[in-house]
Amino acid sequence: MESAPRTAADRRRLAHRLPALREADARAIGRFIDAAWAEHGLARQTQDAYRRDLEQLARWRDGAGGGLEGADRETLFRYMAWRHAQGYQPRSNARLRASLRAFYAHLVRAGVRKDDPAALLDPPRLPRPLPKALTESQVDALLAVPDVDTAEGLRDRAMLELMYAAGLRVSELVDLPANAVNLRQGVVRVLGKGSKERLVPLGEESQHWLERYLAQARPQLAGGKPVPADAQGNVPLFLTPQRRAPTRQAYWQALKRHAAAAGIDPRKVTPHGVRHSFATHLLNRGADLRALQLLLGHASLSTTQIYTLVAREHLQRLHARHHPRG
């Protein structure tokens, strides 16, 4: 018997060995994605996650008992048990549960089903890891690495400064349209999860580097030609030499290179880690939790409250280090 896959690559290979997606299931998934986007304005990443989760279940099911739309509660429980045996992580299974609940709730609303087989799926227990933030000195070292005498280096410096100054998600950063930044007012308009907009202050340093990028680097990267709009009709703010927005993967790799050059273990530096650093450093310097929630674009304050644990640990270390009876 083949052993259970242990890595994400192993699980991808396993997924490729599942049967091809049936046409009826593909149509059902497409109708659901279209309805979810129309009703809730789901972010592209959420749509992609829903699609991947549902396609894998449909292929695992392979049309049995009415395909994806006909799955019963027992089938969903067996599928969750199968994923657990294959080594999928609790966070991945929690996302799957959200995909299933959204899909079958949609079928009930649309009158395709009378019952919701996903209603009683128990959420997996998730660990509550503390955000891994860089120190302020590490952030300073990271920001100083890009060679600002080159167009791409100046672009990277502006992107890093903006991500740290505004606490942006990597998808928000690379997808920023050119008209999202208002240098006169010193704010950036960010389209976050669920297509919710928020205004975030730029800060003096970030504004300075954005001004330099727009005046010097962006025209070079555009090559004196008009920059084409994306599928949504937006002209990207940050450009590659191909006059397109950088991908999330390309930005991730650039961040790893800059971290290594700054003497920081690149395995410990991620775009989300820079966002965590923004939040942690603000709290350590006395920021209000409600204000931080607005800056991060969190829908719920409970999501933001995890940063209070980080701030508390920081205060405890300071107390232990400096108090005469610490």
pLDDT at 3: 43
For residue 163, which of 286, 44, 271, 307 has the smallest C-alpha distance? Answer: 271
Report the residue count for the chain: 326
- Name the least confident of 64-68, 278-282, 314-318: 314-318
DSSP string, 9-61: HHHHHHHHTSPPPPHHHHHHHHHHHHHHHHHH---HHHHHHHHHHHHHHHHHH
Choose the catalytic residue: 95, 275, 276, 281.
275
Residue 112 φ then ψ, to 5°:
-75, -35
Span between the terminal Cα atoms of the chain, in Å: 56
Rounded to whole angstroms, how far apart are CA atoms 219 and 226?
Answer: 10
> Average pLDDT of the chain?
84
C-alpha pair distances (Å), 267 with each of 15, 93, 256, 273, 281: 27, 24, 8, 11, 21
- Element spanning 181, H or E: strand 181-182
Is 281 catalytic? The answer is no
pLDDT at 260: 95
pTM to 2 decimal places:
0.59
**299-323 mean pLDDT:** 58
Q: Do residues 145 and 254 make contact, with C-beta atoms less than 8 angstroms apart?
A: no
Q: Which fold has domain 136-322?
A: hpI Integrase; Chain A (1.10.443)
Q: 244 pLDDT band (50/70/90 cuts)?
A: very high
Is 298 catalytic? The answer is yes
Is 251 catalytic? The answer is no
pLDDT at 263: 95
pLDDT above 60 for 10: no
**Domain ranges (residues) in the chain:** 8-109, 136-322
**172-181 mean pLDDT:** 93
Choose the catalytic residue: 84, 189, 193, 256.
193
Same fold? 8-109, 136-322: no
Rounded to whole angstroms, how far apart are CA atoms 225 and 219?
Answer: 8
Q: Which of 107-116, 190-199, 314-323 has the highest mean pLDDT?
A: 107-116
pLDDT digits (tens, 9 = 90+) for 127-165: 556 557 889 999 999 999 999 999 999 999 999 999 998
Considering the segment(s) 8-109 as one domain, its CATH architecture is: Orthogonal Bundle (1.10)
Q: Do residues 157 and 148 make contact, with C-beta atoms less than 8 angstroms apart?
A: yes
Which of left, alpha, beta for 62 (phi over 0: left; psi -120 to 50: alpha)? Answer: left
pLDDT at 132: 75
Choose the catalytic residue: 169, 218, 276, 281.
169
Residue 227, helix vs strand vs coil: coil
Q: Do residues 166 and 237 make contact, with C-beta atoms less than 8 angstroms apart?
A: no
Q: 203 pLDDT band (50/70/90 cuts)?
A: confident
Q: Which of 125-129, 245-249, 309-313 has the highest mean pLDDT?
A: 245-249
pLDDT digits (tens, 9 = 90+) for 260-301: 999 999 988 988 888 888 888 887 777 776 777 777 776 665
Is 319 or 208 the better-scoring residue by pLDDT? 208
DSSP string, 98-129: HHHHHHHHHHHHTTS-SS-TTTTPPPPPPP-P
Choose the catalytic residue: 272, 312, 317, 319.
272
Is 193 catalytic? The answer is yes
pLDDT digits (tens, 9 = 90+) for 70-127: 999 999 989 988 988 888 888 888 889 999 999 999 999 999 999 999 988 876 665 5
Is 169 catalytic? The answer is yes
Rounded to whole angstroms, how far apart are CA atoms 283 and 277?
Answer: 10
C-alpha pair distances (Å), 296 with each of 2, 164, 168, 192, 285: 44, 11, 7, 9, 16
Is 307 catalytic? The answer is yes
pLDDT at 58: 93
Q: Do residues 68 and 54 make contact, with C-beta atoms less than 8 angstroms apart?
A: yes
pLDDT digits (tens, 9 = 90+) for 215-237: 999 999 999 898 998 878 889 99
pLDDT at 126: 55
